[in-house]
Amino acid sequence: MELYSTIKQLCLCPSVSGRENKIRQLLSSLVEPFCDELSVDKLGNLIALKKGTGGGKRIMLAAHMDEIGFMVTFIEDNGMLRVAPVGGISFVGAAYSRVISESGVKGTIVPNAKTKPEDYKSDCFYIDIGASSKKQADAMVGIGDFFVVEPHLQKLKGGRVCGRPLDDRVGCAVLLGIAENLSECVLKDDIYYVFTVQEEVGCRGALPSAFAIAPDMALCFDVTATGDVPDASPMACRLGGGAAVKIKDASVICDELITSRLSEIAESKKIKYQREVLLRGGTDTSSMQLSGSGASVGALSIPTRYIHSPNEMCELSDAQACIDLATEFILSI
């Protein structure tokens, strides 16, 4: 698996929360060669199982496959589309971005003419698809249709990439890389690779999937913020610093034994890593931890700048470090 090509392929497949069909189909085709069983649960989570020889643990590895976006709520007489956010939208960052709908209708998201940036809110924005009347717009879109910022990805200097939605297609690519690494390994443990839905609207998909799997141990893969840009809040994570071993975020405190073991393996195998303490925000890690009677859960994060903006940025070496560290962690069990 060539990491950049995989991430780009995943990024160029728009799939907003609640409408993950396209990305699920793509991920199914990519993960199928590395697993024994594929299934989709009632909520839409994709679950790929690599069966163990028996007598081992049930290990769940998860990354979310949905992305933030916009839902059409009203069509004006002049053909403009009023929208509501799906997930955590920064409208300052989204202003004047190119957007595309599920069916391929293109447009741009724009604030009302006299609205100042400090007053940007969802009800001040509309999508202009070029229609000159409600009748024209009705023929192209409907109430409840979804839009996302137009996907793209490009290489930058030093192995860095910029585009969207790296949150969390880069995590999905990491999961695929782990599955490929372990595909020929004979393990006692059952490994469940889970691509979850609706993380961006409340970490919903991970909870029922973890409840059904009842893992003895779980790892979550997602992006995390960095402290390496001007005026950033103090944070130890940076691009190029390696896999970020999560200690805590605003929703979870990770299992101490898993966290310590990940750090020990990284040091012994000379895999570049850093420790993550995220003061705001959360991931599927918390849902997995609290499912059923509870689970021992850790997380590996990919440091990413400008999260939830039209141009997120990460470094491929950090994603590769997550693949390498998680692979060694599973083999050590």
Which residues are designated catalytic? Answer: 199
Q: Where are the alpha helices (DSSP H) in the chain?
A: 3-11, 21-31, 91-94, 134-138, 166-182, 206-213, 256-268, 285-289, 316-332
Which residue's entry shows tokens 């991430």?
7
Nearest to 311 by CA among 150, 171, 124: 150
Strands 58-64, 190-196: parallel, antiparallel or unpaired by DSSP? parallel
Q: Which residues contact 16 (CB under 8 A, 6 or more apart)?
A: 66, 67, 68, 69, 86, 87, 102, 146, 147, 148
Token readout for 97 is 């971005």
Compute the radius of gyration of the chain from its Cα atoms: 20
Our measurement of the distance from residue 287's CA atom to the centroid of its chain's CA atoms, rounded to an integer in Å, reads 15
- CA torsion angle 220 23 20 137 (round to 10): 140
